[in-house]
Amino acid sequence: MNQPINNRYDFVLLFDVIDGNPNGDPDAGNLPRVDPETGHGLVTDVCLKRKVRNYVGLLKEEQPPFEIYVKEKAVLNRQHERAYQALGVDIAKEEGKRKGGEHVEQARAWMCQNFFDVRAFGAVMSTGVNCGQVRGPVQLTFARSVAQVVPLEHSITRMAVATEREAEAQSGDNRTMGRKYTVPYGLYRAHGFISAPLAAQTGFSQEDLDLFWQALINMFEHDRSAARGQMSTRGLVAFKHAGSLGNAPAHALFDLVKVGRDANSEGPARSFGDFQVQLPTLEQLPAGVEMQVLA
C-alpha cells in the first residue's frame, strides 16, 4: 500500500436532484427528508457514504485492498473471522475475541489493509469476533439544500396484483394503487473533512484519496433508480492544507464558497442554472491553503 496522506483536507460537495427522492425517511413513509423549521431538504451522511461504497465496490470489483466492509446483505462477523484466519489464529481458542486480546490490534490492521471503507470511514468491529474499533479519517456532514424544497406526493397505478385473492376481490380489474414522493428540484450542499493524523492510523493513502474524489464525482452515475429521479454531482471543491493539522478552520474555508440563487432567475428553482456558485480568489485563501476544483 502507498504511504498515508500527510495533508489535511476540507471539501464542499454540491449535487442536485430533479423529480426524485434523494433520501427517503423510513420513519415518515419514505417522504424526502426535510428540516421542518426551514423547509430545506436533507440527505444523510450515511446515504452519501453508501453511494461511495457502491461505486468503489463496482469499480474495484470487491478485490483487496478495496473490498467493502459494510455492503448489502453482509454478515460483518464473517469478515472479522477472515482477519483471524489470515493471521493464523484459532478464534475458538482466542480468549479475548469479545473483550480484547493480543491479536485484536493485528486483526484491526488487517481489516484496514483490506477494506477501503474501514480505512476511509472507520468502523466498530468489536461485535462478536473482536477486530477493535477504527475512527476513520473521512467524515461527511448531512447535505442540506441551498433553498427550500417542496416534497410532492404522486398517486401511481400498477395494472397488476400480487395474488389470486386480490384479483378475485377486484373481479379481475387487477389494479394496485400506490404513492410516490419526489422533490421537483433541489440543489444540496455537503461538507467533508479528511484528517491526516487519523489517515496515518488506518493507512488511508493518496491512492485512496484519489479514488474517494472519483467516487464523489461519479457515484450518482451508477445509482440510478426510478425513485431517485435524476441526480448529479454539480461541484466538488477541496481545500488542501500545507500541514497535517491544518492552516485554517474548516468553517472559514466553507464560508468562502458561496452558493445562492442567480440574480436573473425568477420563480421556483427548477435547474442548476437557477443558482450561482462563487469560489474564492487566490488572494482570499488563507496562507498555507490550496484550493482544488475537482468537479
Q: What is the pLDDT of residues 118-161, one digit of tens each?
A: 999 999 998 888 899 999 999 999 999 999 999 999 999 888 88
Burial (CB count <10 Å: 0-12, 13-18, 19+), residue 34: buried
Residue 70 confidence (pLDDT) above 80: yes
Beta bridge partners of residue 179, listed in sequence order:
155
pLDDT band for 90, please (50, 70, 90 cuts): confident
Q: 206-244 pLDDT, tens per residue?
A: 999 999 999 999 999 999 999 999 999 999 999 999 999
Residue spans of the domains in the chain: they are 9-155+180-293
Give 195's Cβ-side CA count (13 Å radius): 15
Mean pLDDT of 87-108: 74
- 95-120 burial, b for 16+ CB within 10 Å, e for fewer? eebeeebebbebbbbbbbbbbbbbbb
pLDDT over threshold 70, residue 95: no
Mean pLDDT of the 187-203 span:
98
Return the residue matching grid coordinates 478495496: 66
CB 48 within 8 A of CB 143: yes
pLDDT classification of 116: cutoffs 50, 70, 90: very high
98, pLDDT greater than 70: no
How many residues are given for the chain? Answer: 295
Amino acid present at 109: A
- For the segment 31-69, what is each residue's pLDDT rounded down to a tens digit? 999 999 999 999 999 999 999 999 999 999 999 999 999
